[in-house]
Amino acid sequence: MNDNIAQIHTTRESWLQAAVHALEPVFSKAGFAIPPVKLSCGWPASSSPRSTLGQCWPRERSGDMVNEIFISPRLEDPVEVLDTLVHELCHAIDDCHSGHGQDFKDIAHCVGLEGPAKSAHATEELKVRLMMIAERLGNYPHKAIVFPPPRASNQQRSKARCGQCGYEVSLLKKWESMGAPICPRDNIRMEEVGVSIESALSPEEEQARKEKDREIKRAVC
């Protein structure tokens, strides 16, 4: 097959497996061999699905005794998928022994990743290489799953407070229409204290929350 002709993949798994084959020269040039791996599109098992973009499992956790890698359904851009895949393949080479420790950092640095270990991502030079690989692989057969806005926390819900002892409880939205409850200590009607979602966070805090939600993280089990 002519390498300049984009391939056509009908499943995410076949695209990811072809991606591993295409990435082999990147790792072999750095002196590393990619071990046998199984790949799929799926949510991380133990980390936040909102912020974790990939996860690698050690061989001892697999019935087939191979590293199993999952790429988050949040990703649909081929270059971002490849970037995350390179990170997870570094874990596979290390068989997840060092987590995001020094051995992982050494491998990641050699193949062209930079930044904090947990969010190590492609350098500009490697990203150019990944763009070329993505062009050969063709479209990643997946459309991103989009999360709904985060639910209000306890700090963002309406509250009721006792005017005498200060006892405070959060009010579920579906029960707010029934009014504030009776204080269990002073046996008087508590006072409602409204806290709207809009006013719960300052503009600076809201921006920080958005930035944290966008932060790229990869997990290792």
Average pLDDT (207-211) is: 53
The model carries a pTM of 0.72
Q: What are the b/e assignments for 159-193, b being 16+ CB within 10 Å?
A: bbbbeeeeeebebeeeeeeeebeebeeeeeebeee
Report the candidate in 50, 46, 38, 99 with the shortest Cα–Cα distance to residue 75. 50
pLDDT of residue 107: 98
From 51-55, 98-102, 103-107, 174-178, the region with the lowest mean pLDDT: 174-178
Q: Could you tell me which residue, 215 or 121, shows the higher pLDDT? A: 121
pLDDT digits (tens, 9 = 90+) for 43-73: 988 778 888 999 999 999 999 999 999 999 9
